[in-house]
Structure 1
Amino acid sequence: MSGGWCVTRTSTLLSHWLCWVLVVCWATIFLVTFRIGLISVALVVYAFRDWRQMALATTIPFCFFFLYWWSIPESPRWLLATGKFYAAEEIIRKMAAKNGKSLPPDYMTTLQIKYNAAQKAQHQNSVANSVEEKNRTYGLVDLFKTPNLRKKTLIITFIWFTNTSVYVGLSYFAAVLGGDEYINFLLAGAVELPTYIVLYPVISRYGRRTNLCVSMLIGGLACLATALPIKGETFTLILYCVGKMGISSSYVVLPLFASELYPTVVRGLGMSLSGVAGMLGPIFIPLVNYLGAEHITLPLILMGFLLVAGGLASLLLPETLNHHLPQTLEDGERFGKTKHKPDVTRDDNL
């Protein structure tokens, strides 16, 4: 669960630090390194057969995180959304200096004026309401108070649950495909890497929702196709690889898509809720894989149904490509209620 928490938090911070063009690039790089780590697990397990040694070998590297976590800056977008302009200015000035840029002395004043003007124009709130919004704290309850934000939260959480369940299930299933289980697990991770090379330009061109839906449907239909009366381990292996590539593709898009749907003030909470709920899937997935003892394709069929259901559910979410990130709860509730034209171009900054 802590690993899933780190993944969701990293995705959130990436969406806050970078412009939308770079977010896709770095999200892809982040997940490539994640998959390389997954591939290395096969080598670690092969080298350390005792589970105690394996546990130490896979957890000790996390200790290095405590040597540099303090150097990671807070999200400037979150600081701005909560009215903490001075803290946001300090981080933005450091970011500008690192990139060889300089900010005017009155940058914070100008930013605050623009922020207050945007809040007034978008929400038509009084000054008192703006102050109250600025000083309030947020909780998980805020994700469910309004109907549209509640709908998006439930759909994202369900899709996250299906993605995590099937991804872990297919990874575990590699051991029962026949042959050397260590090589199978290694290849199951390696087959994911080519999908990222193809997916990077596609996400930026065709959007998040389309890619998420297509990836899940391809993976789900490949798993369901194992029910066809065609015998042979090769046929099952090919469909398994297609299914693994499909779920891997959706696993790239989902964190990025979710981070752009949740409003800034509750983005971390929403990502954490969906991520933790998704980690409930691996609890029962081993039981699903156990059904393969009698019918080897039965787990794949069940996971295929899950993927298809998640893919169809993604069509109920609004597209986020070329749109500004929602900042407040009101933005999050309004976004996706009606069809809206893109409001960001490739030349726009954060």
Structure 2
Amino acid sequence: MDFDEVLKEVGSFGLYQKIIICSVLLPAALPCAFHAYSQLFIAASPKHWCRVPELEPWAQDYGMLVKNLSIPLGASNNSVEYESCQMYNRNYSDIVRYMEYRTPIELQQDKVWQIGNPGHGQIQACQHGWYYDRNMYTSTVVTEWNLVCDQSYLVTLALVLFGVGGLIGNYMFGYLQDMWGRRPSFYVYLIIEIVACAASAFAWNYYSWLGMRFVVGLTVPAILASPYVLAIELVGPDRRVFCTIVSNIAYSCGLVLLAGIVYLIRDWRFLTLTVSLPLLLLFSCYFVLPESPRWLIAVGKTQEAARILKTIARVNGHNIPPDFVKIMQQKLQQTDAAMRGESESSYGILDLFRTPNMRRKTLIITLIWFANTSVYVGLSYYAPALGGDEIWNFFLAGVVELPTYFILGPGLSYFGRRWILCISMLVGGVACVLTLLYDEQPEVMLLLYCVGKMGISSAFVVLPLLASELYPTVVRGLGMSFSSVVAMIGPIVIPIINHMGQHMLVLPLIIMGTLLIIGGLASLFLPETRGKNLPQTIEEGEAVPLSFFNCVCCCCCTKTPRSPDLNNSALVAKYKRQREREQIGRGRRQPITVCSICKNEIKET
């Protein structure tokens, strides 16, 4: 008996599932949202300019005068601004002696900055450190360790290594998820993440902080997968969309909440502790969170799965006979027997590529996952580059995601997964590419950015749902982790691309838009999974063909087969032998020809 049928008898979406979703799934999105993007503010680079010790007594009260005296102007993103890493090579001691004999009004009115014709003077790199604009942030990693100018690449390096950690962690924790189960693996990720993040607040130099952020990166992409997979494995097929949307709403709310926290806390050490230590409260749900019954059945632990089903039935208000566990074990016997052969063997990454349909699905899902992850992370990282208030931009980037989720609910149930995924990626991709035409119009660029963020947010909802419904239970965690591992190459490269955007603002958007368009077209090859039972074994997953090949073979099943090329002797001989067998069999039983892809009978017309 299929597990979805068993789940209907105990309640596929009752009070028990709602408790799990509200107490675990929603809060579990916060660690991922907090720790994935808090680094944008912890390592924010405020405006800065060269420090001149001789002019320092005047810097606080006459900041603009000090800049005019010491800092040259330069072009930056279609505007003229003070240089961040260069200063005039002047005799500032003589300038100070001149300024000492001027009243404050004279200093404001007199053109002191013209002394010595600085516009024609020599320019050199900063010699004595930097002044930082502390109106936005009181302290960041950048201001504490001077990660600017020739050291600015270290900020990008931190994001790159954070992505490398996610790549390694996804692959490593994917095995743990299928080997240990959903619940233990989630809490292992969580404790590692909280401890490493809190420890980074006490870093004594850049490299100690970088090491802790790498450890956090190991867990961030994987920590959301375990409760999400558990949630969709506890509900029926008709409620998977709900779980996916709720999970992403919680994630977007986490981004909005992070913007609020940053608005209140501008010191990077206190900010680090604020986004880590409160997450220890999630351990209070340890005894509420169950293990996945599907996973227990997949590994042959039917008795333990039956006990969990008994708890689900009791909480959902279903009548329970005294021998409920025994009855459930008998009903699960058929599923257990079908999966026992595979459960006793260890599954590896090669199992995703051994059979043709599974291999094609894995490659296509991985390509789309790579595009989605790269663009989602890239657009989130890109928000501060839009200009204006960085915190407000990040807040806006999180808020624009929420309307898409309320539209997706009925859309996924009515139109299915595949078309929603395709349209979302194409709309978002086109919007990003169109910024090339409006690079000098900030308002239009902001609008196109929001449309692109809404498109990728919609696609980001659909893809994990579609992937979890295509990968069989025995390799679901491994398959999703493999796709995530490859996809994490994107967040490794995206910070470098965004860094290049300092010279061409729309370059990152063009690259990300192109990725979305390619991924959207590739999604048309995947089969629709709306209302279908989750495949338990690799054989069940192999029985579901790709959408493109399914359409092709279905057309072949209803149309007259074409005659082979008569110039090919091998095909002619094969065609004659087939026709002779059909002629011999017509007197007794009409032969049946079956399509090798969809297993349907091919009828000639």
Same fold (TM over 0.5): yes
- Structure 1 residues 144 and 297, CA, compared in 2 at 3 Å: closer, same or farther? same
Which residue of 258, 261, 283 maps to 1:44?
261
The verdict on how the C-alpha distance between 1:116 and 1:20 changes in structure 2, with shifts beyond 3 A counting, is closer
Cα deviation code 1:281-337 (max 9, x no counterpart) = 222211111222222111110000111111111112111112211110111222225
2:393 is aligned to: 184
AA at the equivalent of 2:277: I
* Inter-partner Cα distance in structure 1 for 2:349 and 2:525: 22
Answer 1 or 2: which has greater helix percent: 1
Pick aligned residue for 2:499 from 286, 290, 310? 290
State the Cα distance separating 1:103 from its structure 2 match.
4.2
Residue in structure 2 matched with residue 7 of structure 1 by the alignment: 224
Matched, 1:33 2:250: yes
Secondary structure, aligned partner of 2:224? helix
Alpha carbons 1:9, 1:272 under 8 Å: kept: no
What is the alpha-carbon distance in structure 2 between the residues aligned to residue 114 and residue 283 of structure 1? 45
Structure 2: runs of 5+ lacking an equivalent = 1-165, 167-218, 555-605
- Give the equivalent residue in structure 2 for 1:71: 288
Alignment equivalent of 2:328, drawn from 81, 104, 108: 108
Partner of 2:312: 95
1:176 partner SS: helix
Residue type of the alignment partner of 1:260: E
- 1:212 and 1:249 in contact (8 A); partners too: yes
- Judged with a 3 Å threshold, the aligned counterparts in structure 2 of structure 1 residues 253 and 155 are, in CA distance, closer, same or farther, namely same
Matches within 5 A, 1:223-302: 223-228=432-437, 231-302=440-511
Flag the 1:66–1:277 CA change in 2: closer, same or farther, 3 A: farther
| TM-score, normalised relative to structure 1 | 0.88
**Counterpart AA for 1:3:** V
User: 1:118-137 alignment to 2 at 5 Å?
Assistant: 119=338, 131-137=340-346
The aligned residue for residue 61 of structure 1 is 278
Change (3 A) 1:212 1:284: same
Look up the SS of the partner of 1:324 in the other structure.
coil
Residue type at the aligned position of 1:339:
N
User: What's the counterpart of residue 148 of structure 1?
Assistant: 357
- When residues 61 and 273 of structure 1 are mapped into structure 2, their CA distance, relative to the original with a 3 A threshold, is farther
Asked if 2 retains the 8 angstrom alpha-carbon contact of 1:76 and 1:88, the reply is yes
Asked whether the equivalents of residues 439 and 505 of structure 2 are also in contact (C-alpha less than 8 Å), the reply is: no
Equivalent position of 1:209 in the other structure: 418
Question: Match of 1:201, as an amino acid?
Answer: P
Letter in 2 for 1:295: M
Q: Structure 2 counterpart of 1:180, which letter?
A: D
The answer on whether the counterparts of 2:296 and 2:302 sit within 8 Å (CA) in structure 1 is yes
Q: TM-score, normalised by structure 2?
A: 0.52
Task: Work out the CA distance in 2 between the residues paired with 1:222 and 1:131.
Answer: 49
Aligned equivalents of 2:230 and 2:300: distance in 1? 18
Q: What are the ranges of 5 or more consecutive residues in structure 1 without an aligned counterpart?
A: 120-129, 342-350
Aligned partners of 1:8 and 1:255 also within 8 Å = no
| Paired letter, 1:218 | V
Taking the aligned partners of 2:333 and 2:343, their CA distance within structure 1 comes to 14
Q: Percent identity?
A: 49
Give, in whole Å, the separation in 2 of the partners of 1:319 and 1:276. 24
For the residues of structure 2 that align with 1:63 and 1:141, how far apart are their CA atoms?
A: 37
For the pair shown, the structure with the greater C-alpha radius of gyration is 2
What letter corresponds to residue 278 of structure 2 in structure 1?
P
The answer to whether the 8 Å contact 1:169/1:282 transfers is: yes
Per-residue CA deviations over 1:37-91 (Å, capped at 9, x if unaligned) read 1112122223332322222221223322233234311111222233321111011
Task: Check whether the contact 2:237–2:534 (CA below 8 A) recurs between aligned residues.
Answer: no
1:81 maps to 2:298: yes
What is the match of residue 191 of structure 2?
A: none
Distance 1:134 1:291, change over 3 A: closer
Q: How does 1:164-183 map to 2 (within 5 A)?
A: 164-183=373-392
Equivalent position of 1:123 in the other structure: none
In 1, Cα distance between the equivalents of 2:274 and 2:487?
Answer: 25
Task: Give the Cα–Cα distance (whole angstroms) in 2 for the partners of residues 292 and 168 of structure 1.
Answer: 15
Check whether the contact 2:313–2:319 (CA below 8 A) recurs between aligned residues: yes
- 1:15-42: per-residue Cα shift (whole Å, max 9, x none)? 2100122221122112111111111212
SS at match of 2:246: helix
Larger relative contact order (Cα-Cα within 8 Å, sequence gap ≥ 6): 1
The range that moved more, 251-260 or 19-28, is: 19-28
Q: CA RMSD in A?
A: 2.1
